[in-house]
Structure 1
């Protein structure tokens, strides 16, 4: 990884997260049809969305890498992989399941494209290209899986306390019941496990390829 290119790329990714979240905050605050009551309540409510939470994790971890790329604490490793996997799930689920359900105006569409398309692409390209490598492991993958489970529990508990409002149709306990939502949570968790394990395996391959490249250069 060349810090000369890595740090600006991570900074760009963090900036795109900021743009997407800020635009979405403004759009939601000014849209009286959005759940939340007051303007502040509508704006704050966007943080109940998995999309926004995954974007924030990506933004924070990328900002940290833009400041200093050589980070290797266990907490950072876990949140780095959570961000990469969660934002990948965000992009996949939105474009496969949710995109046809939305009818957005101009600024809402801008926020939507940043949060569901631009940031997922940048995050994945950044991880593949700049890493940092060697931060994943079975231990890190296991902790990564906790994120979707905790999110679904949070959503199920919060819904009845928020006038039966749920951020996504597949998490709507009021309409689907706890069993169906639990099954949906299982599918999302399995997707997380698959992506996390895949990222771990790919990271090992990339670490090995880099090591062989260095050895060849030294010969």
Structure 2
């Protein structure tokens, strides 16, 4: 039986989406280890400090997004899943880290958010967001990511905001000034959150668009790719 072009194109060995280059996978694992060290540094250093709160520490969006980043980098480095669901998870966590970087740069750079060690700040707020964004571009999603799917990724930041406001009422502590109604009042808080929501939506859509553009370029010779 003759081998057709379609048969060749469907072969896993000839499909450029079949796997991620080994160099990228090794780098993923290396950055995951670095992130894990940075993440554990503050709790370990403050293990005997009575004022330190583990619950508060893990109530920062930065910490939660970095935990997700470590998981994504490790799974991507060791297993490199190719499923549509996994590509969506990668995209969502990339968005969360871009949000972490942007919000820190614009709103929190001169505010104490518990991460007083400069190298930890740099790793969590700058380096790892850039790593995930670069990974999203160099090893783009293997399935098309629609804008409607990107908007669904914003459910987690929305739930996080509600959680922070509700928890803050009970423990009298808020992770970020823009989520703290005690001084600014609820009207100013609501206006600020609307503006922030619009900004984060645009950031998320930009990340999704970058992934699609990178996929078109990376897989442009794949007859079975559908990124247009």
Give the TM bin, normalised by the shorter chain.
0.7 to 0.9
What count of residue pairs does the alignment treat as equivalent?
205
**d(CA) in 2 for partners of 1:67, 1:112:** 27
Counterpart pick for 2:129 among 111, 114, 120: 120
- 74, 81, 85: which one aligns with 1:63: 74
TM-score, length-scaled by structure 2 = 0.79
**Which has the higher Rg, Structure 1 or Structure 2?**
2
Q: 1:77 to 1:179 in 2, by over 3 A?
A: farther
For residues 73-102 of structure 1, give each alpha carbon's deviation from its aligned partner in whole angstroms, at most 9, with x where no partner exists.
43x344322211111111112122211224
Deviation of 1:214 (Å): 5.2
1:38-63 deviations in Å (ceiling 9; x for gaps): xxxx1332110010111111111121
- Structure 1 match to 2:181: 173
Corresponding residue number in structure 1 for 2:6: none
**Structure 1 residues 135 and 67: CA distance shift in structure 2, 3 A:** farther
Q: Structure 1-normalised TM-score? A: 0.82
Q: Does 1:95 align with 2:105?
A: yes
SS at match of 2:95: helix
Which deviations, in whole Å up to 9, do the C-alpha atoms of 1:124-178 show, x marking residues without a partner? Answer: 122111234435222321211112111110010000111x110111100222222
* Distance of 2:187 and 2:161 partners within structure 1: 12
Unaligned runs of 5+ in 2: 1-18, 224-228
Q: Shift of the alpha carbon at 1:104?
A: 8.1
Structure 1 portions without partners, runs of 5+: 35-41
Task: Give the alignment partner of residue 59 of structure 2, picking from 42, 48, 52.
Answer: 48
Structure with the higher helix share, 1 or 2: 1
Aligned counterpart, 1:83:
93
What is the alpha-carbon distance in structure 2 between the residues aligned to residue 50 and residue 72 of structure 1? Answer: 27
Change (3 A) 1:212 1:81: closer
Alignment-derived partner of residue 184 in structure 1: 192
Instruction: Check whether the contact 1:138–1:200 (CA below 8 A) recurs between aligned residues.
Output: yes
